[in-house]
Structure 1
Amino acid sequence: MIIKGVCHVFGDNIDTDRIIAGKYTKTLDLQELASHVMEDLDPGFRSRLNKGDIVVGGYNFGCGSSREQAPLALKTAGVSLVVARSFARIFFRNSINIGLPLIEAKDHRIADQDELETDLIHGTITNLSQNAQYKGTQMPSVMVDILNEGGLTNYLKKYGAFKVN
């Protein structure tokens, strides 16, 4: 699974309340959630975000509450991938479940507006702007299959509880 996009870089410990403020989590309207993504952290983020762009975080991205609205807001806003040095485990799992790809890469030097090409299967990140490559965590094949189906619900509808290879 290859994903290309332009980066928006954030720091460490970006919690789910910074991704989508709790005051917006009462709605079921995903477009409404997406319109407020990251606004408390960076009010101009949504206006700069283009479909297919990549969010890059530092350590512990997605910490805080276990709300599924955080990855849903990112995905609905058009984010194609989240790269971070590390993820909060519940955010990581929620992202896979809703079909938002992510990759963990501890030793990257990605700058805002760099263009990346990532290969989730091989765990590689190529920074096209800096002509550099970083090793990320390889995504297990079942998680790539879940992402290819658009999330866990679609995967289970297609394959049932177990996929036979």
Structure 2
Amino acid sequence: MNVILGLAHVYDVNDVDTDRIIPGKYTKTLDVRELARHVLEDLDPTFAGRVRPGDVLVFGNNFGCGSSREQAPAAIKAAGVACVVARSFARIFYRNAINIGLPLIELAEAHDIANGHTVRVELQRGEVINCATGRVFRAAPMPAVMVDILRAGGLVNYLKQHGDYVIREI
């Protein structure tokens, strides 16, 4: 989980809200496979058919703004995306993504990654490497506890594994 290697799907677009990630009309289901079939369809109707497990999404500023729905990162993860790289993320989207086990990395130079290139993302080192050009981009390293949450598959699994939760009867 510390290292992700995948094909980059680059969209140099800013302010992509959760409705553009997964349109609201599809959020009535809990079936993440159904959500995955419609991920990003308003932005790129061909994306869900082209994405492969392990691929990496690359966006501009303020990715995931708008509502706080967890279906947005869940749809991306269910589509097989291994990591999202963006210049910046909406804070609630960032937290929701980590909570469900979807790695994110903020990278100021995200716009310098080319569509179709293979990228290597090293979360704990805060590096994104364009394998086609050899260029190394540096971002803030992800804190170890966040990597542990991702490695566990999300916050709920992490808490279960570490016994850091209390179940209270109502």
Residue 154 of structure 2 is matched in structure 1 by: 151
The Cα offsets for residues 14-61 of structure 1, whole Å up to 9 and x where unpaired, read as 111010000000001111011100001100111111111000010001
Pick one of 115, 125, 128 that aligns with 2:131. Answer: 128
Calculate the TM-score normalised by the size of structure 2: 0.93
Aligned-residue offset at 1:77: 0.6
Query: Distance in 1 between the 2:80 and 2:70 partners?
Result: 16
Could you tell me how far 1:110 is from its partner in structure 2?
A: 0.5
Segments of 4+ moved more than 2 angstroms: none
Aligned to 2:88: 86
Q: Distance in 2 between matches of 1:111 and 1:46?
A: 19
Which secondary structure does the structure 2 equivalent of 1:31 belong to?
A: helix
Counterpart position of 1:119: 122
Deviation sequence 1:75-99 (CA, Å, 0-9, x none): 0010000000000000000000000
Task: Name the % identity.
Answer: 57
- Cα distance, 1:129 vs structure 2: 1.2
* Cα displacement (A) at 1:114: 1.2
Alpha-carbon deviations, 1:97-155, whole Å to 9, x = none?
Answer: 00000100112400111110011001011100122010012101110000000000100
| C-alpha separation in 1, matches of 2:6 and 2:22 | 22
**In the alignment, residue 143 of structure 1 is paired with which amino acid?**
M
- Residue-pair matches, total: 162
AA in 2 matched with 1:102: L
**Residue equivalent to 1:4:** 5
TM-score by length of 1: 0.96
Code of the aligned partner of 1:7: A
Of 94, 104, 107, the residue aligned with 2:106 is 104
In the TM superposition, what is the alpha-carbon distance from 1:160 to its structure 2 partner? Answer: 2.1
Comparing 6-15 with 67-76, greater Cα deviation is found at 6-15
1:67: Cα distance to partner?
Answer: 0.3
